[in-house]
Amino acid sequence: MEHLPVFMVRDSLDDVPQFDLPAPFAVRRYRPGDAATWLRIQKASDRYSIFPYEKFAQQFGADDGVLAERQLFLCDGEGREVGTVTAWFADHRGVPHGRIHWVAIVPDMQGRGLAKPMLGAACSRLRELGHPRAFLDSQTMRVPALNLYLKFGFRPDIRHDDDLRAWRLVGPHLKPTYWQWAVACVPELA
């Protein structure tokens, strides 16, 4: 599939679905030194991006206090980090938004339902930090992630015709229920 950018928004964070984290997994916050943890997880999980050492600081800066408030790690029963998501922030279309940023679960833990409680925790964190709404950006070939975001009530954000083209391209690859939701949000996609 052609690799095209897509944007998604959730206009409210009031009613985000929550999923219980199965034992023995746990979510913890960023600690100083976790840049290496984040890079390890991303390198293992994301086959479409490259992760040089400086990528972490480029994405998140170097303020440990901000990161401790916003970056989450999913840990297995031995405390080893197997996933990450960041409850970040940025302006989107000129308006301040919470931002779901860099979601990843390591390959041998994927497909077990672990991204759902992790993403729920990140959305809750954004809400606790005072963000009324959130956005994220992704790409057409990340079908599992797009299904996940649609399941969570993020809708396609159509800024121009290229966005419609990207969503029409990915639509047939998405789970039908989630694609129906996308079309209900954006009737031009039908």
Ligand X SMILES: CC(C)(COP(=O)(O)OP(=O)(O)OC[C@H]1O[C@@H](n2cnc3c(N)ncnc32)[C@H](O)[C@@H]1OP(=O)(O)O)[C@@H](O)C(=O)NCCC(=O)NCCS
Of 28-36, 64-72, 88-96, 114-122, which part binds ligand X (CB under 6 A)?
A: 114-122
Q: How many CB atoms are closer than 10 A to CB 118?
A: 25
Widest CA span of the chain, in angstroms?
Answer: 48
In the bound state with ligand X, the residue whose beta carbon lies nearer, of 7 and 64, is: 7
Q: Interface with ligand X includes 116 (CB under 6 A)?
A: yes
Identify residues 83-112 at the interface with ligand X (CB under 6 A): 103-105, 110-112
CA angle at 90 for the pair 53 and 148, rounded to the nearest 5°: 80
State how far the Cα of 92 lies from the Cα of 131, in Å rounded to an integer. Answer: 13
State how far the Cα of 189 lies from the Cα of 176, in Å rounded to an integer. Answer: 13
Which residue in the set 91, 113, 159, 184 belongs to the binding site for ligand X (CB under 6 A)? 113
Going 120 to 148 to 101 to 112, the CA torsion angle's sign is positive
In the bound state with ligand X, the residue whose beta carbon lies nearer, of 110 and 180, is: 110
CB of 65 vs ligand X, minimal distance in Å:
25
Residues binding ligand X (CB under 6 A): 45-46, 103-105, 110-116, 138, 142-145, 147-148, 151, 175
